[in-house]
């Protein structure tokens, strides 16, 4: 079984500032992948960033980067230079095994303010 915990239900950040969203997970699989998805009010889930567990290097996608601590089973998302369009629910997810279904956390609602 896999579990994902997001301990921050809501966060707020000012435009142009940096914010970090936390995520911890648990899985018995050796080969797994970690994801951050963004869900704006329009509801469509969009992949933000992906990390393969076997890679030590942290993934980066433009203003988005992760801090992957495998031993601690921690996978945080850092958003630099926050923009109003970053306002959304952010879900952390883990996918493992041959079926690779995703197990999601409960999400963090991020509000970017002027």
Partner 1 sequence: EAGVAQSPRYKIIEKRQSVAFWCNPISGHATLYWYQQILGQGPKLLIQFQNNGVVDDSQLPKDRFSAERLKGVDSTLKIQPAKLEDSAVYLCASSFTSGGSKNIQYFGAGTRLSVL
Applying CB under 8 A, the residues found at the interface with partner 1 are 4, 33, 37, 42-47, 50, 52, 91, 93, 95, 97-107
> Is the Cα torsion angle 12, 13, 14, 16 positive or negative in sign?
negative
Cα 66 to Cα 58: distance, rounded to the nearest angstrom: 6
Which residue lies nearer to partner 1 by CB, 68 or 91? 91
Interatomic CA distance for residues 16 and 32, integer angstroms: 33
CB of 78 to partner 1, least distance (A): 20
For residues 58 and 51, the answer to whether their CB atoms sit within 8 Å is: yes
Find the shortest distance in angstroms from Cβ 37 to partner 1. Answer: 8
14/60 with CB nearer partner 1: 60
Structure tokens at 86: 């970053």
Please, which residue, 50 or 63, has the CB nearer to partner 1? 50
CB of 38 to partner 1, least distance (A): 11
């Amino acid at each position: 079984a896999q579990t994902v915990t997001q301990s921050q239900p809501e966060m707020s950040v000012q435009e142009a500032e940096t914010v970090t969203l936390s995520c911890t997970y648990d899985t018995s699989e050796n080969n797994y992948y970690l994801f951050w998805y963004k869900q704006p009010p329009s509801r469509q889930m969009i992949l933000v960033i992906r990390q393969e567990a076997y890679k030590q290097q942290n993934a980066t996608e433009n203003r988005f980067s992760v801090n992957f601590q495998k031993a601690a089973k921690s996978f945080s998302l850092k958003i630099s230079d926050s923009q109003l369009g970053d306002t959304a629910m952010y879900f952390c997810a883990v996918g493992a095994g041959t079926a690779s279904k995703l197990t999601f956390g409960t999400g963090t609602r991020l509000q970017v303010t002027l």
